[in-house]
Amino acid sequence: MALPVLKEFLCGMSVRTGALIIGWLCLINSLFTLLPVIIYTGMYLEMSTDQENKLIDWLTNETEQKIYGNESVSPIGHSDNEEFVRNAMEGTVLFLILSGLISVIAATMLICGIHKKNGCLMLPWLVLDAKSCILTFLTFVFWLIIMPFSKVSADGHFLTDLYTKAAITCILFFSVVVPAYAFLVVYTCYRNAKYERSQYDNSFQKL
């Protein structure tokens, strides 16, 4: 079954204008997300060995405190935990940088694809947003399942718990709806670009 297409964007704007707005917002958001990670990575690389070891040791102690509580950890186990924390931190930073770069590239290709009316350049962003829509939808469904059995407020008061659950539900709902609507806007622009390209190719062949 084909996905629905939109006739216009918000406030009567064209779908193409809406897709450009979405593309620029995604690019700005990706850059602002990537920038702190790059700054943190630069600061980490400029650390001396002693500063790095102190940071890793502090993170390891915090992790062990949460896992083992007041139980003592052997020196060998502590050393293994330090290595795990170091690898986890470096892996997380690398993942965030790669994810940020992919998002920046996809948003840039989307903007170029809209300007050039090239559907192929829009595909990477559509794939990433479709993945985001699926993950947020699954998260929303999972939350609806566990919500009746969970307590999320710190004081455990019924009304506080109810308001907190309502707030989380609203946030997750909009986290599903907004990316889905953005996907439909860009998908409509993609379909229009493919249609115009096919019309151009057909008219060129007739000549």
Q: Are residue 80 and residue 151 in the same domain, yes or no?
A: no
Q: How many domains does the chain have?
A: 2
Domain-located, residue 7: no
pLDDT digits (tens, 9 = 90+) for 34-57: 888 888 778 777 766 676 667 667
Domain-located, residue 165: yes
pLDDT reported for residue 181: 94
Spatial neighbors of 144 by CB under 8 A, at least 6 apart, are: 169
The 3-state DSSP class for residue 5 equals: coil
Domain assignment of residue 102, given as a range: 14-116
The radius of gyration computed from the CA coordinates of the chain, to the nearest angstrom, equals 24
Q: Are residue 155 and residue 176 in the same domain, yes or no?
A: yes
- pLDDT band at residue 84 under the 50/70/90 scheme: confident
pLDDT reported for residue 156: 64
pTM passes above 0.85: no
Domain-located, residue 154: yes
Domain-located, residue 6: no
pLDDT reported for residue 174: 93
Contact between 118 and 99 under an 8 Å Cβ cutoff? The reply is no
Residue 72 has pLDDT above 60, yes or no: no
Q: Which of 64-73, 148-157, 160-169 has the highest mean pLDDT?
A: 160-169
pLDDT reported for residue 149: 79
Of the CA atoms within 13 Å of residue 175, those in its CB half-sphere come to 17
Residue 158 has pLDDT above 80, yes or no: no
Looking at per-residue pLDDT, the higher value among 86 and 81 belongs to 86
Spatial neighbors of 17 by CB under 8 A, at least 6 apart, are: 9
What is the spatial distance between Cα 85 and Cα 52, in angstroms, rounded to a whole number?
12
